[in-house]
Amino acid sequence: MSTSERVSTRTDQPTDREQQVLDRIDKARRRKPKVREERVTLAHGSGGKATQTLIEAVFLDAFRNPLLEPLEDSASFPVDAGRMALTTDSFVVSPLFFPGGDIGELAVNGTVNDLAVAGARPLHLTAGFILEEGFPIEDLRRIVTSMTAAAETAGVQVVTGDTKVVQRGKADGCYINTTGIGVYEHARELGVATARPGDAVLVSGPVGEHGITIMLERGELDIEADDLTSDTAPLNGLVTALLDAVPGVRAMRDATRGGVATILNEAARAANVSVTVHEDAVPVRTEVRGASELLGIDPLYVACEGRLVAIVDGEQADDALTALRAHPLGTEAAIIGRIGDDPPGMVLLNTAFGGTRIMDLLVGDPLPRIC
């Protein structure tokens, strides 16, 4: 409904009544914007006054930077000639807050990591929010603050955004899309399709902590694991360290949905090679191993949000391990397997008991909404 003031005049000069209205509006506008509501309303998604207040008082206040500040519908920035990377990810994790992080930190790190493991330097992020009517403004602030901190740590900026509000029962509090662009500062061609027999497979740290943390936080398992926290972290620094030290890096991937096993299956197919993983060599924390057993799921299928899988020239595997371990996010890195040629397209697991089994792609979704 238009709430425009109706002013009955046909002259060009404002009447006294009009001037009062103008003065009142002007005064209201000069106030620092402040969200008065405690919860998100449909009006916050209207594009009108409430949207503007939300954007200025919550998003701009936290993300503030010269590219975002004009609040135009798009951000603009100069680029050098070269190659760029573009990636997108939506986050629907439940619960929104969990030990070691929240959806905001996850949304920044996840997109930063997709750019980093592609070998690109993350540059700018966009943030698209879908909010459920009734979502607490304080929770939104907490998420946005956490995004700002994560962006600062990763050396990126949120340069443009969008907010939609849906009715109660049409979302689950807050969903976030982050899309990122990055620049390639080297000419190396990375990609799982370049894996070849003799290459080594490394992980940068213990697997499955993020996924298990989320499951435990939901209270679906009767397990206490006070020390377990999400591994969410920006991997761009670790990636740079690895690329600088090891010319023979073939590919990197962050082991999110589907975990390490899914990535290795994608690599095996893309390069038409086999991958053999030594179960004993895979770092897994005791709490993760215990919970995984109760869930009947292999930790190699559980999501991490701050671990990468690297495929490197076999002769440079030790150098890669040294480079990873020298970085704070890679102290527990390990060489977990090898690329072979037979059977092509397959991942085999040499189990701790001396057997071998095929580690195929997952069917079903044992851990929904972990990111």
Which residue of 62, 104, 109, 124 would you call a contact of a second copy, by CB under 8 A? 124
Q: Rounded to an integer, what distance in angstroms lies between the CA atom of residue 126 and that of residue 139?
A: 20
Here the tokens at position 342 are 């037979």
| C-alpha to C-alpha distances, 355 to 92, 330, 342, 351, nearest whole angstrom | 38, 29, 17, 5
Nearest one of 48, 26, 50 to 36, comparing CA atoms:
50
Site size toward a second copy (CB under 8 A) is 115
Which residue of 16, 27, 29, 219 would you call a contact of a second copy, by CB under 8 A? 29
Which residue of 35, 40, 55, 75 would you call a contact of a second copy, by CB under 8 A? 75
DSSP label at residue 155: T
Which residue of 27, 34, 38, 169 would you call a contact of a second copy, by CB under 8 A? 169
Shortest distance, CB of residue 297 to a second copy, whole angstroms? 6
Q: Is 86 in the site for a second copy (CB under 8 A)?
A: yes
Give residue 220's identity as a one-letter amino acid code. E
| C-alpha to C-alpha distances, 229 to 148, 206, 258, 285, nearest whole angstrom | 20, 12, 19, 11
Query: For a second copy, which is the closer residue by CB, 41 or 145?
Result: 41
Which residue of 22, 197, 294, 315 would you call a contact of a second copy, by CB under 8 A? 22
Q: Is 352 in the site for a second copy (CB under 8 A)?
A: no
Give residue 5's identity as a one-letter amino acid code. E
For a second copy, the binding residues in 141-160 under the rule CB under 8 A are 159-160
Here the tokens at position 247 are 């010319």
Q: Is 31 in the site for a second copy (CB under 8 A)?
A: no
Give residue 301's identity as a one-letter amino acid code. Y
Which residue of 63, 98, 129, 135 would you call a contact of a second copy, by CB under 8 A? 129
Which residue of 17, 20, 47, 322 would you call a contact of a second copy, by CB under 8 A? 47
Query: For a second copy, which is the closer residue by CB, 125 or 200?
Result: 125
Measured N-to-C along each axis, helices 209-217 and 286-295 cross at an angle, to the nearest 10 degrees, of 60
Q: HSE-up of 4 (CA within 13 Å, CB side)?
A: 4
- Residue 271 has a CB neighbour count (10 Å cut-off) of 24
For a second copy, the binding residues in 185-214 under the rule CB under 8 A are 191-193
Query: For a second copy, which is the closer residue by CB, 302 or 317?
Result: 302
For a second copy, the binding residues in 88-117 under the rule CB under 8 A are 88-92, 114-115, 117
Q: Is 49 in the site for a second copy (CB under 8 A)?
A: yes
